[in-house]
Amino acid sequence: MIVQGQKFRKEFAITFDQVKRFAEVTGDHNPIHLEKQYAEAHGFKQTIVHGFLSGSIFSKILGTEFPGEGTIYLSQEMSFKAPVFPDEELVADMEVLDVTPSGRFLIQTVVRSKETDEIKIDGQARVLYRGTSS
């Protein structure tokens, strides 16, 4: 049973190969994501991960782990607070803020650096849950 205040945490990283594949799938070939020299010339220490690729961790978690199968995404708000770099160790933190009797949840969604605890993405997801939770 999912309850208000319940939390979930997942560690993850996004590889440069995943960035390249995301660029191919979406057609977003912005050199800030793909060319180190370009990224450095624009103030970054290396290429940066596409924002929506970074935020896609929420979809993976919601649909497969917390609450899991049977989850239907209704909306996602995301504020990109700091760049995510390929191979950076990250943590996704989720907390259930509200639960309705109809199975709708409001969930705080945050990605932060595992090393520095700097918030990279801050947001909220609204989901409908039709599965069974343990």
Which residue from 88, 87, 105, 89 is spatially nearest to 97, judged by alpha carbons?
A: 105
Amino acid residing at 98? D
| Angstrom distance (rounded) from CA 86 to CA 39 | 12
How do residues 6-39 score in pLDDT, each as one tens digit? Answer: 999 999 999 999 999 999 999 999 999 999 999 9
pTM surpassing 0.75? yes
Contact status, residue 125 vs residue 76, Cβ threshold 8 Å? yes
Residue 37, classed as helix, strand or coil, is helix
Residue 117 has pLDDT above 60, yes or no: yes
Buried/exposed 3-33: b ≥16 CB within 10 Å, e otherwise = eeebebebeeebebebbeebbeeeebeeebb
Q: What does the mean pLDDT of the chain come to?
A: 96
pLDDT computed for residue 133 by the predictor:
55
Q: Which CATH superfamily is domain 7-129 in?
A: Hotdog Thioesterase (3.10.129.10)
- Evaluate if residue 69 carries a pLDDT over 70: yes
